Structures are given as structure tokens and as C-alpha cells.
Structure 1
Amino acid sequence: MEPRNITGVSQFLLVGFSEKTELQPLIFGLFLSMYLITVFGNLLIILAVNSDPHLHIPMYFFLSNLSFVDICFTSTTIPKMLVNIQTENKVITYEGCIIQMHFFTLFIGLDIFLLTVMAYDRFVAICRPLHYMVIMNPCLCGVLVLVSWIMSALHSLLESLMVLRLSFCSDLHIPHFFCELNQMIQLACSDMYLNKVVIYIVAVLLGGAPFAGIFYTYSKIVSSIHRISSAQGKYKAFSTCASHLYVVSLFYCTGIGVYLSSAASHSSHSSATASVMYTVVTPMLNPFIYSLRNNELKRSLKILFGKKTIKEPIVLGLKKCP
């Protein structure tokens, strides 16, 4: 029997990872732990940056924004999944699904743009060190973050409007733990050609272009570091961008791995499992990567917990816009 075309969809079913009842407590505990670590870790980064005047410089301004976005990113999907497991109800309303997809698209776009902006910040710091505070002034930093929000909001709005024009079949089971854009489109009974074209174009413009920009900036950074004569100078220069490079590598490698694995296996459940890497694991690991490899951030966290007092003179890196 062919699926019927339904014009007025009221709800979807989020299948999740497994329908086995005995596995639900394990999944619930695992994802609750990862969610709490993600929120707590990123919140500590934000508090440390805002409370320590030594960290009022562009690099940490962008880092605190990234931490805020990561909290929102995981909060878009994980709480709903935890509620579904706890209540043993996998239903999500049509409106709720569209809203979840909208904000998920918004925050993943912001992650991409902020990582690109942070790469540019490291490029200026290493390749133009004498002009760093002039180029990366507070106004420019604010504009870069604002533009990132605007572009991400326009992208998520476009994708949401493209989904709203679709009609869906009687099979409304989403084999995922959240309303993922590609999974929703596959459930549609109407023509999906325009939606797929938009997705491919956006993937090139908002995915490929930032990645190319990050790759270009790091090629220039590596070239500048290579020209430094002393080994200590090379290590110091590399250490300022090492954490960001690790985060970029983790984010893009896991994201690309998700789509390659889902394309190879043609299994929606495999895609859902693989997507945990960039939707949950990467935001959870970001605070550890930045804090463990950054002495200034570790010092600020110690001050935040009252284990160290400020003895150094305070020099503010960000001034008010003229």
C-alpha cells in the first residue's frame, strides 16, 4: 500500500536510536551526563571570560560566543530526546518539529561562522601582530558576530520556509533523535527537487566557503610560523591557535564523517548514531580542549573557583567603540 499524501500534518514520531525498552535507561543516563557536562563546561568558559579582565580580548570574546552557541546547539535537541525517553512518548508536534529544525540549523550555522571568524582572528594575531589591536577592534568584533547571526538566521529561515511548502506522507516516523532537515525532506510526498537544490547550494556557500577560508588562513599561519627563527617563538605562535585548530578539525571531521557514513550505509539509524559526534560530543569537548591547552584560561578558572588571586597588572584588551 502506497503512503497517502497528507496536507495537514499534526505530529511526527522521533524513533531515536533504539526501540528496545531495556536500553532506554542507559541512553537516558548517557545523554543526560553529556548534556550536563556540555552546559556546565561551556558556562564555565563564559563566566571565566566575563569575570577576568585579562581575557577581555577578541580571541576570548569569540570563544565565549562559541560557548554560548554550543549550549543553545545541544539544548535544541537533547532535552526533547530526554523527555521522550522519560515519558515513553516519541511524539513531537509538527510545529515543534519545524521550530527544532529551525533552531538547529541556526546554531550549526553559527558554529561554522564563529569558527571561521576565530580563524581570521588567529591569522591577524600571528601574521599581523603589530596591527592586531587596531584591526581586531571592538567594533569589528561586534560586527563579525552580528553578521554571523544575521546570515545564520536567514539561512535557517530559508530552510524552514522550504520545508513548510512540502506535504507529507502517512509514514511520519523520523529515524533520528531530532527533526533533522534531510530526514524530514525524505518523508515528503510532494516534489522535493527545489529543496534538495537549495540544500546543495547552501552546503557549498555556507559549508565549503568557510572551510576554504579557514584552510587559507591556516596556510598563511603555518607559513608565518615557519619563518620564525627560534623554536620557542614557533611554539608560542602555534600554541595560540592550536586549540582552535583542534576544535575545527573535530567539528568538520565528525560532520563530514556523518554524511559519508550515512551515504555508505544507507541507514538512517547509522546516520543518527554518527550525528551524535558533532551534535553532542564536539560541543562537550570544546571547553576541555580550550581550557586544557590555554594557561590564561586555566588561571582564570582557578580565580573563578577562588583558588588563586589576581596579582598581575590588569590590561584591558577591548576598549569601547569611538
Structure 2
Amino acid sequence: MAIQMRRGKYELLDPSKLMPGEWAIVLESDPNGTGGRSLYMCFSPGVVKRIATVEDMATIIANAEPEVSANIMKIATDTNAAITDAENKRVAAENSRVSAESARETKQASNNSAQASNNSAQSSNNSKQTANNSSQSSNNTAQAKNNADQAQNNAAAKGMTFSVLSSSQYAKTTDNTHNKPTITGKTGVMYLTPRISGATDDDKYDQWMYLNSAWELMGETGSHVDPVTTSDIDSITSGTSVTADRYLNATGLTYWWAKAKSALSSVFAAKSHTHTESQVTNLSTDLSNLSSRASSLESRATSLETNVTSLKKSIPVYYYSSAPTESTVKSEHTTPCLVVVKGGATYLVE
């Protein structure tokens, strides 16, 4: 099939009349072609494309250059303006940040100063509290000493009284060895009944005391036992050895504990943490040992109490119708005893 081509003026070009594969050559008047001349290819009726030559391309580029340049310049100008605006905003933001940081540092410095003041005040309060605690500890120790001294003074002031019973106030024991009181006694009173056997001018009576709602016959020999004094405790806690036959009563123990707490507080640190039972090595064994030691101490305490009671029971009492001289008492009594003067005082012979 021969190649078909049409030619003519641009005004006569009608793409709808072209056949597929047909060329149309514009010889003049084409506003899009160089010198008014151009070339078109038909792909289907009404669908054509203009074919550009090298010369056409050069012309197109030359014609487009001013517009492209203008667009490029506009883009560059807009870009520079955007960069400048962004930089200005960045500088403003940086200035704001610096200002905020300066304000924060100023605030932090103020807070630090306030915290330092608070710490100083707290330290001062802690020092005052420590001084108060120390003063209170000293006061507690002094009060415990006063209590112990007062208790001992009270005990010393409570002199034992005696009562000689009449025949209607006692009866013989079942073994006929003593005359036992039949009345209800009072605490702190020693009741005297005539001895059935072995009575002498200096020892006519049995001595009875009413203890725990029952009559207790006092013995014939023994020694006088005094409680430990606060002076003893002061000497012991200061490292001085004290030798004496005295017992530690509850009042003395209270004073000793006050002294011990004051001394131990500077030796042992305060508890800062705790451990569970499983974290303590050999806890069960240690607890068992402590329990055994506690039982042993309890037994020793019971034994000591029994000994003290026995000592109290074994102090004999001798009676005089008139006050004897000191030399007479010492010559007649070589063991500890109580000397009672009729209508007069009572003396302890040691």
C-alpha cells in the first residue's frame, strides 16, 4: 500500500479526515511550526501528533527559556524568602529558649537557695532535737535515781513493829513445839508468842509473820540483806568494782536500765533495716540457746528468792526490859539478830 500524504495550508488541516498512518505536511501558516511549516502523523481519524524537527526543538526551547527562567527565579526568590523567614523564626525560637533557660536557671538557683535554707533549718532542728533527747535521757536517768533513792528511803522508814499476843490469841501446834497465832495478822508486823521449850531471859518468844494469808515461823539465825543502792549502780556503771552482800530489787533494776540505755546508745547504732527469719543464719539454734539460758536464769532467780526468804526467816529476836549497853549486846550476841527493848527501840546486830 502506497504511503499517503496530504499537504497544504495550516487552515485546511482537518485531523478528522486523515487516515491512520497518513502524513499531513503543513506548508505555511502553522503558528506552532518554524517558519509556519510543520509535519503531523495520524494514528486514527481525529488523533494526530505533530512531529518536531531539531530546528523546531531549538525554537521551542528558545521560546520557553524566558518563562522557565522566570519560573526558576520565582522559585529561587520564594525559596530564599522561606529560608530567611525560617531562619528568623529559628533565631526567635532560640532567643525564647535562651530566655526560658535563663529563667529556669534563675528559678533553680532560687530553689537551691531555699532548699539550702531548709536543710540548714532542718540541721538546726536536728541538733536541737538531739540536745533535747540527751537532756531528756539525763532527766530520765536522774528521775530513775530519785525514784530508787526514794523507794529505799521509804523502805528504810518502814520500821518493823512487834505485837506480843495474849493467851487467847494463840494455840499450840499439832506437834506441841510452838504456840501458833490464831488471829488474822497484818503485813509488816512481827507477832510474838511464848516459847514452849528453850526459853531464856533473852529469848522468850517465837517470832511469827503473816505472809500470803498464812502464818510463817521466823528462824533463829541468819543475816540481814539490804538492796543494792543507786550509789552501787553508779559505781558499777562507771567501771568501779563493788563488793557487797546486797540484792537487786525492781527499783534498783529500773535505775540500772536507765543508766544502761544511756551508755549503750553511744555504742550501738540505731536499727536501719530488718531481716526475715530465713535470712538469719542459725536463728533457730540461737533462739533455742537463749531459751535455755532464760530457763537457767529463771531457776537461779527462784533459788535466790528462796535463799533470801530463808535468810529473812532465820533472824532471831531478843527482848530486853531495859536498853542494854553496846558492849553487853556485842558480848551476848555474836551472830546477826534483832534486839527489841520493851517500850523502846529495835536494833539490828550484825
TM-score class, shorter: under 0.3
TM-score, normalization by structure 1: 0.20
**Greater per-residue helix proportion:** 1
TM-score, normalization by structure 2: 0.18
**Greater per-residue strand proportion:** 2
